[in-house]
Structure 1
Amino acid sequence: MKIISMIPARYSASRFPGKLMQDLEGKTVILRTYEATVATNLFDEVFVVTDSDIIFNEIVNNGGKAMMSIKEHECGSDRIAEAVENMTDVDIVVNVQGDEPFTELTSLQKLIDVFKNDASKEIDLASLMVNITDWEEISNPNTVKVITDKNNFALYFSRSPIPFPRDETVNTKYFKHKGVYAFRREALLDFYRLPMLELEASEKIECIRYLEYSKKIKMVETDVQGVEIDTPEDLERAKKLWK
């Protein structure tokens, strides 16, 4: 089983333009993420896939592997799907977000183990979720929440609080979706070729497309929060945590 990691890296970002090239204690955010992913030693190869000459050069000039996107893409899954379309020997593709420099071995190993234990190949992709308890985070539309069935297969993702706590006596657990995915190559290419439908377009959550086309997403719980760098404030938190 050949397993690779792809790190989609867009230079522009609506909330924090150029965030991946910001300094994080002596190295850029994207280089920190790339090096952390390589350091897990879980992958046959690790690539940054980008639309930016600046990011491409940052990785290559520091001894890493990078690829330039040919087309314009609305989401990271499309970007990496284009990159693996001609890699016919690849079995599993792990998408690590470029703004997650605290990527670590344990959580990624759990995702890979999903496929190693799936002898019948029923699972199309796996992703991470972390339990959250702060209501401000639960109600924040920038935090994507996920609900699952009893076997931890995803039922739905939303920017709204799900489930809605109509009965406050129920001990409801809330899970934040962390944007780290592991795909079977075929499922990733299916995503690339299938059009966006209404639910994905409304929520602006790309993994909803898999559910709308009846793909099976296995959610894996992790207790590693880390910091996703979406704002300048996130970057300051990341610097403190890095120290």
Structure 2
Amino acid sequence: MQPLPVIAVIPARLGSTRLFAKPLIDINGKTMIQWVYERTRLARGIDRIVVATDDQSIVDIVEGFGGEAVLTSTKITSGTDRVAAVADQIPAAIYVNVQGDEPLMEPKAIEAGIELVRSGRFAMGTVMTSLKSSAELHDPSVVKVLADQNGRAIYFSRHPIPYSRGPEPAAGEAFICRRHVGLYVYTREALMKFRALPSSSIERAEVLEQLRALENGLPIGIAEIEFHSIGVDTAADLEHVRNILK
């Protein structure tokens, strides 16, 4: 009997509070969702990639460049819940949630997340990288994370964490917290357990779905990798990414 595969799922929602139809935005001749799909395809250890969306136009675009997409309910409110909807249709041992607004996603980051879960140390894993500037530290669109000495996430926030009574690190010195990278890896059991949990008060306050796991006592393993991730949340982010991908 063949072992169950590792499936990468890219949630892609048409609506966005800041950039409408974000997955379909053109970045130097390709849609954002195609950039994310192609970056994900470069990661080793993935057997199948599926875009999970709430809109037929995104399905058509993905199938047009040779990808696979499934239509999910418009009532789904989080990326992880959309991944779970795919899991209802497609069995796998491990699911990788690659956020659809990360056109610069580093394949090695995906591989690091998969290894965390494949090793058996954690049933849910993610990735972090260093913060590059004070501007990133104070930018609410850049999610910060603290991890313990055993590689387990302590807390995620849009605010600088922890509060520091002293001065910020000087240029060239490391910040205590790290920048969270937009991907998650789960065993099938962990994914289904996560979906069954009610949305938590902390999750709603920060608008960060991973806090649902922490508030309910589900550990999240976290690997550190050196690369600079840029999620596209604003027009300025979009322009920056376009310049990088020229």
TM-score for both structures, normalised by structure 2: 0.91
Counterparts of 1:228 and 1:30 in 2: how far apart (Å)?
Answer: 12
Cα deviation 1:131-180 (Å, max 9, x = unaligned): 11422221222221111111120111111111111144987522111121
The structure-2 alpha-carbon separation of the partners of 1:172 and 1:3, relative to structure 1 and needing over 3 Å to count, comes to: same
2:227 aligns with: 224
Counterparts of 1:226 and 1:167 in 2: how far apart (Å)?
Answer: 28
**Any idea what SS the aligned residue of 2:130 has?**
strand
Cα deviation 1:44-70 (Å, max 9, x = unaligned): 110000001111100012211000003
**Any idea what SS the aligned residue of 1:214 has?**
coil
1:201 aligns with: 204
Indicate conservation of the 8 Å contact 2:14/2:23, yes or no. yes
Counterparts of 2:158 and 2:36 in 1: how far apart (Å)?
Answer: 25
Tell me which amino acid in the other structure corresponds to 1:239. R
For the pair 1:152 / 2:151, whether they are aligned, the reply is yes
Counterparts of 1:157 and 1:62 in 2: how far apart (Å)?
Answer: 35
1:42 aligns with: 45
Counterparts of 1:187 and 1:116 in 2: how far apart (Å)?
Answer: 13
Counterparts of 2:206 and 2:28 in 1: how far apart (Å)?
Answer: 34
Q: Which runs of structure 1 show a deviation greater than 4 angstroms over 4 or more consecutive aligned residues?
A: 169-172
The structure-2 alpha-carbon separation of the partners of 1:228 and 1:172, relative to structure 1 and needing over 3 Å to count, comes to: closer
Indicate conservation of the 8 Å contact 1:96/1:181, yes or no. yes
TM-score for both structures, normalised by structure 1: 0.92
Indicate conservation of the 8 Å contact 2:117/2:186, yes or no. no
Tell me which amino acid in the other structure corresponds to 2:6. I
The structure-2 alpha-carbon separation of the partners of 1:142 and 1:69, relative to structure 1 and needing over 3 Å to count, comes to: same
For the pair 1:140 / 2:139, whether they are aligned, the reply is yes
Name structure 2 gaps, 5 residues minimum.
none
For the pair 1:236 / 2:244, whether they are aligned, the reply is no
2:160 aligns with: 161
Counterparts of 2:90 and 2:240 in 1: how far apart (Å)?
Answer: 37
Shift of 1:9: 0.1
1:178 aligns with: 181
2:55 aligns with: 52
The structure-2 alpha-carbon separation of the partners of 1:179 and 1:74, relative to structure 1 and needing over 3 Å to count, comes to: same
Shift of 1:98: 0.8
For the pair 1:7 / 2:10, whether they are aligned, the reply is yes
Q: Report % sequence identity.
A: 33
Indicate conservation of the 8 Å contact 2:62/2:69, yes or no. yes
Q: How many residues align?
A: 239
